[in-house]
Each structure stands twice: as C-alpha cells, then as structure tokens.
C-alpha cells in the first residue's frame, strides 16, 4: 500500500526497501531519511532514539509487551489455553481474562482483539466447551464496571466483538477519560448445557 506523501516533490517507490524519489533532483532516499524530513520522527534523529524515549516514559507498558520473536509463542499459548481449558468437578463455568494494554495512552484494541481471537480458536477445539459470554471491564467516573458485550455464542467472531464494542461506546457515553481494562470471557461448559435439556 502506498503511504500518503506529506512532502511535495517526493514519490514513493514501493518495494521491500520502501525508498522515496525526489522528483526534482532525481535522488532516492531511504524511508528513515524521508520520515526525518517529513517530521514524523519529531525531535528524534532515529526510530531507535524515539523508541528509547518512549520506553523510558512508559516502562510498565514496555514490560508488558512481548519480546521480539515471542508473539507467535504467545499466540500459541492462548490458543492452547482455550483448547485445554477445563473446570473443577461440579463447576459448570469458568472465567478467563484478556487484558487490554495501552499504547501511547490509547487502548491497544488490535492486540486485545488478536488475543481474544486466538483464545476463541482454542475453545473451538475444546471438547468440553460449549459457548462463551463476553463482557467488558472498564473504569468510568473512577469506578470499575462490567457490561455484557455478547451473549452466549458458539463461537463469537472478531467482527462481532468489534461491532459490540462500538455499540457499547455509544450506549455508555464512552469518553477518552474512561479506561478499558479487559475482556472477561465467561466460558460455559457442555455439562452445564446438557443439564438444562
């Protein structure tokens, strides 16, 4: 996909190197040089220095993020947890939390959605699980609240979750001051469903 050009006289060349052509001089420059010229790096001279400053300002956020190369392991772990989830004898439900992390003071819903999807994929292959109720934990007016997003569904999709989240924001007058905390999944096991028949 061609990124929008913010500097006149430059053309994006595409390809793996993502270089730019100065149409006035014929010179090609790297993406890093272009981003520096366009002001995307702000006061920083490189992405590394920008990342370092961001890490120093948000140490808790970076401590919670996976190290390079571990994202596929985390995905496998969440899918495995969904597939192997079980409850104690006599119990018919079990709750599982998908935390919502923040990136630059904004909820990282892409990451939370991906984690949610990975866990649901595991539940699909869990012979004990029947359905899941999806709730949202959030903080409004300084109080922790919980609201249902999706009823018991076998199995909810990421699209359904996204629509439900947008409806929630409209229904509860969501503002930037409110803090989304986590998706709470209430997993219903087949033993519970069979006992109601």
DSSP codes, 48-102: HHHHHHHHHH-HHHHHHSPPTT-HHHHHHHHHHHHHH----TT--EEEEEEE--E
pLDDT of residue 193: 47
Which of these, 183, 140, 141, lies nearest to 158 by C-alpha position? 183
> How confident is the model at residue 11, as a pLDDT?
83
Q: What percent of the chain has pLDDT over 90?
A: 28
Dump pLDDT digits (tens) for 67-83. Answer: 554 445 455 688 888 89
For residue 20, pLDDT over 50 is answered with yes
Q: Domains in the chain and their CATH numbers? A: 10-57 (no CATH), 65-195 (3.30.1490)
> What is the pLDDT at residue 51?
64
Split at pLDDT 50, 70, 90, the class of 196 is very low
Residue 186: what pLDDT? 93
* pLDDT tier, 45 (very low <50, low <70, confident <90, very high otherwise): low
pLDDT (tens digit per residue) in 137-176: 998 888 889 999 999 988 999 899 999 999 988 887 788 7
- Model's pTM, two decimal places? 0.58
Distance between CA atoms of residues 90 and 189, nearest Å: 11
User: With 50 as the cut, is the pLDDT of residue 32 above it?
Assistant: yes
Mean pLDDT of the chain: 79
Cβ(78)–Cβ(122) below 8 Å: yes
User: For residue 107, what pLDDT is reported?
Assistant: 87
Query: Is the confidence at residue 56, as pLDDT, over 90?
Result: no
Name the pLDDT band for 59 (thresholds 50, 70, 90).
Answer: low
Asked if 82 and 97 touch (Cβ cutoff 8 Å), the reply is no
């Amino acid at each position: 996909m061609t990124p929008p050009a913010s500097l006149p006289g430059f053309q994006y060349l595409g390809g793996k190197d993502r270089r730019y052509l100065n149409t006035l001089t014929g010179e090609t420059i790297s993406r890093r040089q272009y981003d520096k010229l366009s002001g995307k790096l702000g006061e920083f001279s490189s992405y590394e220095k920008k990342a370092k400053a961001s890490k120093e300002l948000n140490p808790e956020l970076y401590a919670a993020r996976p190290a390079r190369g571990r994202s596929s392991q985390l995905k496998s772990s969440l899918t495995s947890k969904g597939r192997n989830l079980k409850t104690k004898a006599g119990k018919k439900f079990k709750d599982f939390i998908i935390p919502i992390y923040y990136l630059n003071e904004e909820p990282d819903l892409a990451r939370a959605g991906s984690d949610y999807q990975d866990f649901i994929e595991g539940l699909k292959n869990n012979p004990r699980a029947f359905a899941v109720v999806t709730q949202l934990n959030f903080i409004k007016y300084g109080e922790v609240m919980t609201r249902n997003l999706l009823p018991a569904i076998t199995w909810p999709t990421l699209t359904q979750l996204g629509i439900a989240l947008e409806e929630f924001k409209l229904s509860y007058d969501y503002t930037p001051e409110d803090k989304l905390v986590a998706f709470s999944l209430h997993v219903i096991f087949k033993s519970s469903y069979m006992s109601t028949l």
